Structure 1
Amino acid sequence: MAVPCVRLALLLCLMIPATVASPRSRSLRKSPAHASASRPTAFFEVDRPPRARGSSGRRCSTLLLSASFGSTFDKPPATAAYSPPSCLVKAGGRASAISLAVLEWRAACRGPQLDRIFGVWLAGAELLRGSTAAPPPNGIVWSVSKDVTRYASLLAAAGNSTFAVYLGNHVNATLTGVYHANVTLHLYLRRTPTTKPTPATAPADLIVPMSRALPLNGGLWFPIQSAADVASKSVALPSNTYRAVLELYFSSHQDDELWYKNQPGYQNGPFREVTARVDGVLAGSVCPFPVIYPGGIYPLLWRPIAPIGSFNLPTYDIELTPFLGKLLDGKAHEFAFAVTNAMDVWYIDANLHLWLDPRGTATTAGLVSYAAPPTNTTSSKSADPVDTHYHATADRLVSATGWVKSSYGNITTNATRTFALDYLLTFETLDLTILADTGVVATDGAGGVLYSAQTHGNFPLGWVYQQNSLTVTHGLEETTVAAGRWSSAPPYRSLRTTQSSLVEDEEGGGKSWGVRQTYRYNATDGCYFRNVTSSNYSVVSDHSNELCVKGAASAGVGTVTAALPAVNLP
């Protein structure tokens, strides 16, 4: 017989799942419970600040758009004309003059409101997707700074283009919050502009958007409302393309926002896979990082420290170079996107990054090998009617090898993507792990490595419900090893961040909550560490440095074990 869910009644019983135990356990220090009634609360996502290298050290900043978003759901995006900033024009106007480009989103909202998704596009190419926070009545402020250097060719493109922002908000007598946002571009220019960018690994020469075209109502993304839905765009590639990478943007909402908690046989289960096909052939698939929005699961869990990846959603690269043999005929080819087991609704679009041979009018290419067996999935339910367990797994491999002949010689590229999902649900706990591996290796005719990158990702999510408390632990671990004569990436980089959040019922009907997060980035080009703890709306401990500490990347985050003074829900 099921135990009642008591006071956390907003959570469905089967949604109330589990946490991964931490090797270190420390209690939070107490702090004032209430957010200030006179000034907004600063919310933030823990992330590494973008760093400029090889630049003049001076920043050139341009306000691209300032807009307010009240009742904007299913209305046209806010738009502004864009042309390259004057500082870039004075530096010669080339994309290679940009050492670092940072897109800054800075926003505020006063009054209660839900978390909302927003997107930012330039000339139809998406640059940033994020969620707002879920504001309490006193309001919030928050900002996001994203490295957008990979879009340098788009930022430097001559002529006018359209900069667009969509944030679908709804205002009524209860939800009164209006979002006010400024979007600013910060450019750091090289002391000496590069005249010959590194082949294949410098920012792409051309970025082709795969999104809906303005004018329209809503975002430029395509809606995917079911597993049968397919979004597509037809594009003809330049004949001198020698490398192609498809960058995917997507996010899940409404019925599928919490897809990762679904038990097998309910709401299409806990497995989702985003697929990209070229002329009907599967080119790559992604089992997504389980993003939690700031209003997701239980809003107090994420105040004021936002969930991992929520303010700046991750994107995913699919190497298309092995498939160029069928794409260089000057004809339009269909790029199609779908979501396995999708429910209403996912938003998806893509950017096609292309590298063009500067000395050749046309390249030739061919596919050498290809393997994409069907996804393996399993699901089961234990026979015990009292202590029921649900288990599900999924895994897949997509691998392709192809050659491209250009003025750089005959280059063979192998691209491989694999993932494995493991899901275990009980009445009180959820334990979800997603492993994702990607690899790209490009070699010359003699077998020498021109560039390679091997990335291993581990995305654990767990929660546990115990009487009158809910604890959620969420993590992202990603390690990349890069090499090759053309490689411009750090030879080694590792990111490990873990977040533990707790909300508890208190006597008298109040609630208390706390968040602890550690973030460690170690790389051959620099390091960053931050350890931050909050109690209710207050940050009670915050330490950061840029020291590289050997072996420190394996340190975990202490589970939040005690919360905090009682506070009534806003």
Structure 2
Amino acid sequence: MPRLHLLLVLVFIPTTVASPRNLRLSPADIAVSDTAADDTPITYIEVDRPLRPPPGSSGPCSTLFLSHSFGFTYTKPPVTAAYSPPDCLVAAGDGASAISLAVLEWRATCRGVQFDRIFGVWLGGVELLRSCTAEPRPNGVVWSVSKDVTKYASLLAAAGNSTIAVYLGNLVNDQYTGVYHANVTLHLYFHPTPATTRQRASATSPADVIVPVSRSLPLNDGLWFQIQNASDVESASIVFPSNTYRVVLEVYVSFHGHDEFWYTHTPDGNGPFREVTVLLDGDLVGAVWPFPVIFTGGINPLLWRPITGIGSFNLPTYDIELTPFLSKILDGKAHELGFAVTNAVDVWYVDGNLHLWLDATSTATTASLVSYDATRLAAKTTTSQFDGADGQYYHTTASQRISATGWVASSSHGNVTTNATNTFTFENTNAFTSDGGAETVNQTTIAYAGVTVTDHTGAILYSQTSDQSFPLYVDIEAKQMTSHTANVTYTVAREYHETTVTAGMWWSGATPPQRRYLRNAQIGAVDVEMRDGTAVSATWGTRQTYRREAPDGCYFRNVTSRGYGIVFDESNEICPKESSAAARGEGSEETSSS
């Protein structure tokens, strides 16, 4: 990669230092002139583990889903292509169970000036990927996303024709010239032996059927629902197969417009707390308290060049166990599955996928809801005034618990009881100081999800606990240095922690519980020097550490950027020993924008 030298950065900031709440800078307001050895595009990355098939797998068998240039596509129909199972998948036999790993790859380039754009990829209405584009530069950018989509194996292997749909709403004119050229490819790997010779735990293998909870084609937008305010409920009518014995809802969510930076809102903007609620025939059955993804144009675009923000290229999804509620939906009638967003301001994009496991030996299962408890959402904000007129301080907390237990009887598994419990806590502080010239946000979301499945004797067939923590720190400060000069600094630090422990006969037979651990920590800073209201220079840098431990191995990466260059990059599939403080999620990595 050629070394690039910053000559000029133009950032729109008021001539006088004032409140730094402009968190969405236009790419036209950030013009970087570089001297480069050639016209080579810069590669942007989201730090993640490499995807590797299980030992002994064959492949890859690669199929180009779609190739398209997204120019003026705003308010236009999604780009579509016909899909049927690739010949290599048909030849492998065994249908979905032949797949050991499925990878969806998005690879794109763009040159010119353009906003970051949200996009989605759907197969038969089922969303496979939610992502944000990189913001381009005059000499171009390149980036790719590889997502493990093995859990959609039944959809990929389903007989008959289906439709791939990609919506990327882009706008091209004389000012915004960037066209996104993208290829979407599916890579398949296959087990070395047929399913009959492999131990398979049906209730924890990929689902038998996946049903979309989204809008249907044709339309002139994405297939996601658009939730525009706190009272808006968007839903789909679903008829559930009568022989379902397990159901998990996977939720996709992203936030835009006035709520893109919801975590910075004060009480006059509905405050900083948001939750996505899931409603079954109008009753609350689950919730998502989302990770605060920052898109590639958010807060200051230089923060995400070339290391993009956590989750921006591959937005996280959230699973909700709905098995305890099977008794409500096994009657062969249509049921409304809906989404709402607490305190929402326009606009949230939400949809979901129902993962259904079916009893192959019967046409119907029976079920009953044993218990259900959802505590009233406890959320409050307190406001304090600093001494004099220096600033304002807001403190917001929230908590919630949802728990349900139900049993289902099937020919294949007998009478099994499922308990699903979710608890959430949230804390946010937002401080305005220096007469509004500085803003600091500290926020932490903690989510726990536990699922336990027992047979009629009380023996544990399956159990999983997941502990997630999402710390976020945002600091923006404008300082008047002299009558002609000022400095504006942006600092963002956040982490994505998740520990999952899985056990039970359905999962791993008699082996001990399996633990998966992820700690993804990122901190970046931008320093802008202003003269007479115009930016004359800027420096920026990011450091990120990624550590993932799982039964199939460990992956570690420590990478640092300065400007557009990567100045340090260390990775290993043998993880170094982690300090006890880091293992507990205390503290964060440090960097500077030098």
TM-score, structure 1 length as denominator?
Answer: 0.92
Specify which of 494, 514, 532 is matched with residue 517 of structure 2. 494
Count how many residue pairs are aligned between Structure 1 and Structure 2.
Answer: 542
Q: Residue 115 of structure 1 aligns to a residue in which SS? A: coil
Give the letter for the 2:521 counterpart. T
> Deviation of residue 59 (structure 1)?
0.9
Q: Are residues 455 and 151 of structure 1, via their aligned partners in 2, closer, same or farther at CA, if it must alter by over 3 Å?
A: same
Specify which of 7, 12, 19 is matched with residue 13 of structure 1. 19
2 CA distance for matches of 1:269 and 1:421?
A: 13
> Deviation of residue 50 (structure 1)?
1.5
**1:234-245 aligned within 5 A:** 234-245=237-248
Specify which of 476, 488, 498 is matched with residue 465 of structure 1. 476
Task: State percent identity of aligned pairs.
Answer: 59
Specify which of 290, 297, 313 is matched with residue 295 of structure 1. 297
> Is 1:209 matched with 2:217?
no
Could you say which residue in structure 2 is the equivalent of 1:483?
503
> Deviation of residue 429 (structure 1)?
1.6
> Deviation of residue 40 (structure 1)?
1.3
2 CA distance for matches of 1:210 and 1:180?
A: 29
Could you say which residue in structure 1 is the equivalent of 2:167?
166
> Where does the alignment leave 5 or more consecutive residues of structure 2 unmatched?
1-10, 24-32, 433-438, 480-486
Could you say which residue in structure 2 is the equivalent of 1:515?
542
> Deviation of residue 465 (structure 1)?
3.3
Q: Residue 130 of structure 2 aligns to a residue in which SS? A: strand
Give the letter for the 1:389 counterpart. Y
Specify which of 540, 543, 565 is matched with residue 538 of structure 1. 565
Specify which of 465, 468, 477 is matched with residue 454 of structure 1. 465
Do the aligned residues in 2 keep the contact of 1:16 with 1:463 (CA within 8 Å)? Answer: no
**For each residue in 1:167-201, what CA deviation from the matched residue of structure 2 results, as whole angstroms up to 9, or x when unmatched?**
00000111100001000000000011214741210
Could you say which residue in structure 2 is the equivalent of 1:84?
85
Please say which of residues 32-41 and 423-432 is displaced more in the overlay: 32-41
Give the letter for the 1:465 counterpart. I
2 CA distance for matches of 1:283 and 1:102?
A: 31
Do the aligned residues in 1 keep the contact of 2:449 with 2:465 (CA within 8 Å)? Answer: yes
Q: Are residues 507 and 391 of structure 1, via their aligned partners in 2, closer, same or farther at CA, if it must alter by over 3 Å?
A: closer
> Deviation of residue 549 (structure 1)?
3.8
Give the letter for the 1:124 counterpart. G
**For each residue in 1:321-370, what CA deviation from the matched residue of structure 2 results, as whole angstroms up to 9, or x when unmatched?**
00001111111111011111111111111110000011122110000110
> Deviation of residue 523 (structure 1)?
1.9
2 CA distance for matches of 1:98 and 1:460?
A: 36
1 CA distance for matches of 2:527 and 2:544?
A: 18
> Deviation of residue 56 (structure 1)?
2.4
Q: Residue 426 of structure 1 aligns to a residue in which SS? A: strand
Specify which of 363, 369, 388 is matched with residue 367 of structure 1. 369
1 CA distance for matches of 2:405 and 2:151?
A: 24
Give the letter for the 2:301 counterpart. P
Could you say which residue in structure 2 is the equivalent of 1:21?
none
**For each residue in 1:514-570, what CA deviation from the matched residue of structure 2 results, as whole angstroms up to 9, or x when unmatched?**
011000001222110000000111111111001144435638653223x33xxxxxx
Could you say which residue in structure 1 is the equivalent of 2:5?
none
1 CA distance for matches of 2:476 and 2:212?
A: 44
Could you say which residue in structure 2 is the equivalent of 1:411?
416
**1:388-427 aligned within 5 A:** 388-407=392-411, 408-427=413-432
> Deviation of residue 211 (structure 1)?
1.1
1 CA distance for matches of 2:458 and 2:200?
A: 23
> Is 1:434 matched with 2:432?
no
Do the aligned residues in 1 keep the contact of 2:547 with 2:575 (CA within 8 Å)? Answer: no
Could you say which residue in structure 2 is the equivalent of 1:567?
none
Give the letter for the 1:530 counterpart. R
Please say which of residues 386-395 and 332-341 is displaced more in the overlay: 386-395
**For each residue in 1:289-324, what CA deviation from the matched residue of structure 2 results, as whole angstroms up to 9, or x when unmatched?**
101001001111111100000000011111110000
Do the aligned residues in 2 keep the contact of 1:116 with 1:132 (CA within 8 Å)? Answer: yes
2 CA distance for matches of 1:560 and 1:193?
A: 50
**For each residue in 1:372-403, what CA deviation from the matched residue of structure 2 results, as whole angstroms up to 9, or x when unmatched?**
12210110111334242110011111110000
Could you say which residue in structure 2 is the equivalent of 1:279?
281
Q: Are residues 33 and 454 of structure 1, via their aligned partners in 2, closer, same or farther at CA, if it must alter by over 3 Å?
A: farther
2 CA distance for matches of 1:318 and 1:35?
A: 49
Q: Residue 391 of structure 1 aligns to a residue in which SS? A: strand
Give the letter for the 1:403 counterpart. W
> Is 1:358 matched with 2:360?
yes
> Deviation of residue 55 (structure 1)?
4.3
Give the letter for the 1:498 counterpart. A
2 CA distance for matches of 1:89 and 1:523?
A: 31
Q: Residue 345 of structure 1 aligns to a residue in which SS? A: strand
**For each residue in 1:231-290, what CA deviation from the matched residue of structure 2 results, as whole angstroms up to 9, or x when unmatched?**
111111111100000111111011111111112x12111011101111111110111110
Could you say which residue in structure 2 is the equivalent of 1:70?
71
> Where does the alignment leave 5 or more consecutive residues of structure 1 unmatched?
1-6, 18-31, 565-570
Could you say which residue in structure 1 is the equivalent of 2:484?
none
**1:85-164 aligned within 5 A:** 85-92=86-93, 94-164=95-165
CA RMSD of aligned residues (A): 2.0
Structure number with greater CO (CA < 8 Å, separation at least 6) is 1
Give the letter for the 1:491 counterpart. Q
Could you say which residue in structure 2 is the equivalent of 1:28?
none
